[in-house]
Amino acid sequence: MTKILGLSGSLRRASFNSGLLRAAAELAPDGVEIIIGSIAGVPLYDGDDEAANGTPTAVATLNAQLAGADGLLLVTPEYNNGIPGTFKNAIDWMSRGDGLRLFKGKPVAVTGASPGNFGTTLAQTHWLQVLRTLNMRPWWDGRLMVSRAGDLFDADGNLTDQATRKRLAEFVAGFAASIG
Distance between CA 74 and CA 145 in Å, rounded? 12
pLDDT, mean over the chain: 97
Q: Which fold has domain 2-179?
A: Rossmann fold (3.40.50)
Distance between CA 74 and CA 111 in Å, rounded? 6
Q: Looking at residues 45-55, what average pLDDT do you find?
A: 96
Q: Looking at residues 113-118, what average pLDDT do you find?
A: 93
Question: Which pLDDT band holds residue 65 (cuts at 50, 70, 90)?
Answer: very high
State pTM to two decimals: 0.97
Q: Where are the alpha helices (DSSP H) in the chain?
A: 16-27, 47-53, 57-67, 85-94, 100-103, 121-133, 162-179
Q: Looking at residues 67-89, what average pLDDT do you find?
A: 97
